[in-house]
Structure 1
């Protein structure tokens, strides 16, 4: 993975409290942390709507990838965590809009809950890209 390690922040006040980064690039590998459907104002985007929340999660993940010098085309794995996996088709629709031609390895899994009860979905993304930006 190389000697270069770069962290990417989303500006969330939780990052320093918890001790995490939105994304970490180590050489050619980029990992994007579990990404929740949080708006720029700190509020949950799309309460009650799995599709809208998944789109927001993917928007945030895509921005984190770009900040780390990667893109959706570099994604090799995604994880979609949901509080109600019976709604997987709505999350899959949003995922397919971004990844239909890229086709990363993907897992959908049900979890009991997230930090915020309004969150219905979180997304993690792993990518492998060319050399880190200079």
Structure 2
């Protein structure tokens, strides 16, 4: 099977040695994705906006891999404040409401940068 590494251009990718997404066969695995952009963090202090921004980056990586959001079968959300799950869940639901992938939402003590509130990973299957 052919392997395709997909970069979003994040400064973290070469430093940490990872790809935004990796496609092997019909599977696409998207790394943990935050609201960090080349212009800074989107939605400072706002987990809803950060979730939307992370999902936008995930959608772009999927497109580059030849997939789409409707191919996503699992998402994993890491959040720094689980009490704000409704805001985060609302943004996730706006994107995945009809798709309904398997999902986990887990509180963590912090992400790689203090202004980041949400990190999302996704797995997609392009098949049949």
Please classify the TM superposition score into its range, dividing by the shorter chain length: over 0.9
Specify which of 24, 33, 36 is matched with residue 34 of structure 2.
Answer: 36
Q: Structure 2: any 5+ residue segments left out of the alignment?
A: none
Separation in 2, partners of 1:15, 1:39: 12
> What is the CA-CA distance between 1:12 and the residue it aligns to?
1.2
Corresponding residue of 1:102: 99
Alignment of 1:1-134 (within 5 A): 3-41=1-39, 43-130=40-127
Alpha-carbon distance in structure 2 between the residues aligned to 1:15 and 1:106: 25
Aligned length: 128
Shift of 1:39: 2.6
Q: Secondary structure at the match of 2:90?
A: helix
TM-score scaled to structure 2, two decimals? Answer: 0.97
Alpha carbon RMSD of aligned pairs, Å? 1.0
- Alpha-carbon separation, structure 1, partners of 2:12 and 2:83: 30
Gaps of at least 5 residues in structure 1 are none
**Deviation, structure 1 residue 9:** 0.3
Report the alpha carbon displacement of residue 14 of structure 1 after superposing the two structures with TM: 1.5
Q: Which runs of 4+ in 1 moved over 2 A?
A: none
Q: When the two structures are superposed, what TM-score results if normalisation uses the length of structure 1? A: 0.93
